[in-house]
Amino acid sequence: MAATPATFAELLRTAVTEPGTISTAYSAFHNYSLGNQLLALGQCLARGIQPGPLATFPRWKELGRHVVKGQHAVTLCIPVTVKRTSGTGEVEEEHCFTRFIYKPHWFVLAQTDGDPIEAPIAPSWDKSTALTALGTEEIAFTLLDGNVQGYAVERKISVSPVAALPWKTTFHELAHVLLGHTSEGQHSDDERTPRDLRECEAEAVALLCCEALGLSGAPEARGYIQSWWGAGNEIPERSSQKILKVADQILKGGEVER
């Protein structure tokens, strides 16, 4: 069996460096979080399993299918809420925090046999639906600088009507909002924007969203992020977690049934 990737940073690096990974993962496993989509796909490819619908052993049984003897479960990452009490004597405080653990509880359709099932169809994505679900708003573009592709302020985003890659810019600006970058003021993005970690985070979110939905801008975003790594930088584990979470929020927020 293939080793389970130990970090979110490893998952993100695989998604960025291997074109097509994100779109394949999203198409096959869209009911799961983006991180788990990439995790499941990596295991399928390593073990020669056809990617497809995922379910637990009991769920496949409910659907009239059984796991083929000798098949090993796919491991996914699940959040677990942990409670911890601190303090002494009469004054004690209870703290809750979330940790992530890996559990091998899922099997892919190709690992099962039995009654035929109808494979779920990935939903379409609607920008207006996403903006509403995410508590954000798109406003008219008012800057006169022709180099500016878009900007974000508070919970609002704006994309230039002549932006070279409007979808990538839309996701990039949404990422600034959801990553908390706009709490420090307005973010304007153009060719002169410093390549700091915040820009890399937002561009990584744009890459994940563009490629998952088959929209223009993924190659350019991929090139930007690879140039960041080429300069000797690393996206920290905590940033990688936030990137995957925010991309998942945007994708899930705009889903509408076909």
Instruction: Quick: pLDDT tens for 6-22.
Output: 588 988 988 888 899 99
| Residues 74, 44 contacting (CB under 8 angstroms) | yes
pTM of the model: 0.85
CA distances from 213 to 23, 122, 126, 165, 172 (A): 7, 10, 11, 14, 15
Domain segments of the chain as ranges: 8-114, 124-256
Question: CA-CA distance, 77 to 131, in Å (whole number)?
Answer: 28
Average pLDDT rounded to a whole number, residues 110-136: 92
pLDDT at 253: 96
CA nearest to 201, candidates 12, 5, 11: 12
Instruction: Quick: pLDDT tens for 185-227.
Output: 556 655 444 457 888 999 999 999 999 999 999 999 998 888 8
